[in-house]
Structure 1
């Protein structure tokens, strides 16, 4: 089972490379992901 932070990081990278309508959401998510990655 993957640690939650790692899973979120992977998901963010997938969303990032899939540049669709979700760009704004991705940018917001990225900030949270960066925090989450470094906190854990």
Structure 2
């Protein structure tokens, strides 16, 4: 799953400019952090 996210983000990096890629990466990381937080409660 993580590898798919990395490949997807790399594809977006090639498709879009750096600003959109940074915002998307932050969004994905927040989702992963929130998911881990909810799972470990």
TM-score if structure 2 supplies the norm length?
A: 0.48
Higher RCO (C-alpha under 8 Å, 6+ residues apart): 1
The structure that has the greater radius of gyration is 2
The structure richer in helix per residue is: 2
